[in-house]
Structure 1
Amino acid sequence: MAVRRRSIVAVPFFFLFCFSSVSLSKQEQSNHPQNKSSFSLSFPLKSHSLPHDKFQSLRSSVGGAAASAVAVKSPFKYSMVPVVSLPIGTPPQTQDMILDTGSQLSWIQCHNNAKKTAAKKTAAAAGGRVSSSAATFDPSLSSSFSVLPCNHPLCKPRTPDFTLPTSCDQNRLCHYSYFYADGTLAEGNLVREKFTFSSTQATPPLILGCASSSGDDKGILGMNLGRLSFPSQAKVSKFSYCVPAPASRSGPSPTGSLYLGDNPNSRAFQYIGLMTFSQGQSQRMPNLDPLAYTVAMQGIRIGSRRLSIPPMAFRPNAGGAGQTMIDSGSEFTYLVDEAYDKVREEVVRLVGPLMKKGYMYSGVADMCFDGDAAAIGRSIGDLAFQFEKGVELVVAKEKVLAEVDGGVHCLAFGRSSMLGAASNIIGNFHQQNQWVEFDLPNRRVGFGRADCSRS
């Protein structure tokens, strides 16, 4: 579950987007069978704030040829979720997409926008990249675009890893719909389209959602373990990202990095295993998300004190409750009640008199403060998520509080039960200034401390 929260202060930043293991089309493979070169492309971006209370993600949605080395420099912005601008279609149209390790289905905005069509067609006729400043994709301008018909297997009910509601529309095309928790709707058609990085390098046509109506103006880049996620369809075996801490209001915009493929910094990473579940296990565990990046967290440390939380609180029980997942699409970290209560108990012991009485942020976070956030953080101490082999994911004491509104800062934790979830979700706030690498063939995730603004 990627739990997205509104950014009170939109903080733009840039990511380095490097593809070194993207599957190419058959023509491109034959033309470049031994190609190991790379090239860079730069994409513009603008500030972005997510709507408030969009607690749900598309986690419930849908979910090998030789690879040629592709390096794509893609600027990102950070507004509580990482957003990348990517070139999609033939010729490419730039689309803003949320990088979400908690979702399978990637989807783009395909709203009709007649006012911009003429300008787009002029650019397309000239063979250039089509500007998409309105964050919409025009299918009529792409020669590689196609729509899935109603008789496609993914449009039939009871597909095991495709739980997104689908139906036949009036044109006999495969239609999907999804309601967010606040009642807004995302719906459209399932389609096939390429990610086009140059005239000679592109992914094969991938199955995407083409949203004709949605409550957000950004798409989703689904990165989980599902067979129809972007890594699975594009044959990406590794990816990693480094999320910088937000800058101050008056400071420069921070810069982070995302790699698809090998990361040159990986020699310094510490790795832990990803938990795996058979189809039989997952079917018997109704609260489990088998497509999530699930880790066997062992504990939480605040300062020098390891909290008295039993390790089983962080692992799925017989029904799947207690699963701990790493989610780039969630800002805060959400804990089951047994773990949240212990964290709150320790924070009250350390800085209880400074807590903002009777205040709860968005109905999920109640460890909040007025005053000097850095000084309060120093009184709380470093915060660490503990794993096997002594590996820790550490948040420095000066950065443990998140600014949420009008000078109010909160410890970036919420109760997962308040979201109707039974899982532990490690959000992107607690992944700041860390390389986080997902090594899919080896079923492991790596962490490496970094100044992400310089990575």
Structure 2
Amino acid sequence: MRKLETAFSLSPSSIPSSPFKFAPTITPTPTPNKMASSSHSHTLLLLLLLSLFHLSLQKKPLSLSFPLTSSPISKSLQSSAQLQTSSESPPFPYTYKSTFRYSMALIISLPIGTPAQSQQMVVDTGSQLSWIQCRRRKAPPSFDPSLSSSFSLLPCTHPICKPRIPDFTLPTTCDQNRLCHYSYFYADGTLAEGNLVREKIALSPSRSTPPLILGCAAASAPDAEGILGINRGRLSFVSQAKIPSFSYCIPRSSRNISNPTGMFYLGHNPNSRTFRYINLLTFPEGQRMPNLDPLAYTVPMSGIRFGRRRLNVSASAFRPDSGGSGQTMIDSGTQYTFLVEAAYQVVKQHVAAAVGPRLKRDYVYQGALDMCFDGNAIEIGRLIGEMAFQFDGAVEISIGRDRILDHVGGGVHCVAIGRSEALGVASNIIGNFHQRNLWVEFDLVRRRVGFGVAECSKAV
């Protein structure tokens, strides 16, 4: 089975690959209905990690000064499944900010170990396990454990090396050295495996996190670098480091700048006073539904608008049903947006009615996007109209006409929305393509997500 991971368009500067996240077939104890909960919890980016990491990242944090659209904070409806908000903030005594490169994914460089070794990682709100590449390699340089005084391996006797941990669904085994070993087999047969380890991340020259549990990959895609897993799981990076909030601002690509620079915050974002917030839908720790990822950032989506017209889609298509289908999540590790069938068909009907014969027949890009066109993208965008994803409390993510289509190569442009059901996914996923030119803040203490309009290319 496969789950959407990060899709990316094919341009002369892009790496040809599949536009999906792949759910790993996990050994030795695969879980039935894996696509339901654990696939979202452990979505590792596969081919996207290839040569994207050869890009150099700016290491020095920069100050921010740019305009945002100011809107009052509104109240949103609480789900009956929501947990009580903690009144105490986890101990994270300072703010960390860094730039990242946006190349169909958010690629950040983090200093890991003592002394620090810079490692490039994909920022992924859709997965839990963070891992780095420990295989010996010079370009790009992999992490060398022998050079770090704070590095340690987890033995098989460590409590984490037990598959009974409810929100850590990565099965583990003991290797021949009695060390805790994990294995991911991707849908295309690619293997990512290694040992679980403890290591520090240096967030400033004088401050580091405590030793965190990471994966130290010994085998993976040839040029893969790593994942920064930051979902709501207790072993994600933000949970282990007790970070109260994090945020990012994804810039738009252009013909002049193919891999623009965005900004990433851990801790307080000075622009948050302008953000509009929606409460996350959270679920009791013991609640399990076959098609639900309880660790995802699940949002109360209510509808989709084109122009002034709200499409005739029931709000129930965007909320988990009794089996968890219909969950809507914010995922930085998926490029395009994907909708369940009930919502997708209505969107496609609107697009087909708006553009008429311009819609390419019998054309599907990478098995996912089938609302595609030849010809003038500006004119087609004008015909389709401005789009918005609507949430509780009258909060919207507005998508301008110039951001409706993505160029996928050969003069073909596609609406950046795919069908979830065709890929075996029972969820709505708002990918990073539709998060561009927004501050997106994940407030882990108050269990909410905030959005603030910004020119992200000018945020650094």
Q: CA deviation at 1:10?
A: 7.6
1:410 — aligned with what? 414
Q: CA deviation at 1:52?
A: 2.5
In the TM superposition, what are the counterparts of 1:268-417 in structure 2 within 5 Å?
Answer: 268-280=274-286, 282-283=287-288, 285-417=289-421
Contact preservation (8 Å) 1:53, 1:182 = no
Pick one of 56, 63, 69 that aligns with 2:94: 69
Q: CA deviation at 1:254?
A: 3.0
Q: Residue 401 of structure 2 aligns to which amino acid in structure 1?
A: K
2:234 — aligned with what? 227
1:217 — aligned with what? 224
Aligned length: 397
Contact preservation (8 Å) 1:135, 1:217 = no
Tell me the distance in 1 between the aligned counterparts of 2:207 and 2:4.
31
Pick one of 102, 111, 119 that aligns with 1:95: 119
2:209 — aligned with what? 203
Q: CA deviation at 1:448?
A: 1.1
Q: Which has the higher contact order (CA 8 A, sep 6+)?
A: 2
Q: Residue 226 of structure 1 aligns to which amino acid in structure 2?
A: G
Q: CA deviation at 1:49?
A: 4.4
Contact preservation (8 Å) 2:5, 2:333 = yes
Tell me the distance in 1 between the aligned counterparts of 2:438 and 2:15.
23
SS in 2 for 1:232: helix
Q: Residue 326 of structure 2 aligns to which amino acid in structure 1?
A: G
Query: What residue ranges of structure 2 are gaps of 5+ in the alignment?
Result: 24-38, 45-88
Contact preservation (8 Å) 1:4, 1:50 = no
Contact preservation (8 Å) 1:244, 1:256 = yes
Contact preservation (8 Å) 1:186, 1:214 = yes
Q: CA deviation at 1:365?
A: 1.1
Cα-to-partner distance string for 1:92-131 (whole Å, 9 max, x where unaligned): 1111100000011100001123xx5xxxxxxxxxxxxxxx
1:433 counterpart = 2:457: no
Q: CA deviation at 1:361?
A: 0.7
2:130 — aligned with what? 106
Tell me the distance in 2 between the aligned counterparts of 1:384 and 1:441.
27
Cα-to-partner distance string for 1:122-141 (whole Å, 9 max, x where unaligned): xxxxxxxxxxx424111111
Identity of aligned residues (%): 59
SS in 2 for 1:195: coil
Query: What residue ranges of structure 1 are gaps of 5+ in the alignment?
Result: 12-47, 117-132
Q: Residue 396 of structure 2 aligns to which amino acid in structure 1?
A: E
Distance 1:247 1:321, change over 3 A: same
SS in 2 for 1:211: strand
Q: CA deviation at 1:185?
A: 1.2
Q: Residue 183 of structure 1 aligns to which amino acid in structure 2?
A: G
Q: CA deviation at 1:180?
A: 2.0
Q: CA deviation at 1:9?
A: 3.3
Contact preservation (8 Å) 1:240, 1:260 = yes
Tell me the distance in 2 between the aligned counterparts of 1:342 and 1:297.
16
2:107 — aligned with what? 83
Contact preservation (8 Å) 2:183, 2:192 = yes
2:21 — aligned with what? 55
Q: CA deviation at 1:7?
A: 4.5
Tell me the distance in 2 between the aligned counterparts of 1:225 and 1:98.
17
Instruction: Report the TM-score, using the length of structure 2 for normalisation.
Output: 0.82
Q: CA deviation at 1:253?
A: 4.8
Distance 1:50 1:370, change over 3 A: closer
Tell me the distance in 2 between the aligned counterparts of 1:416 and 1:269.
29
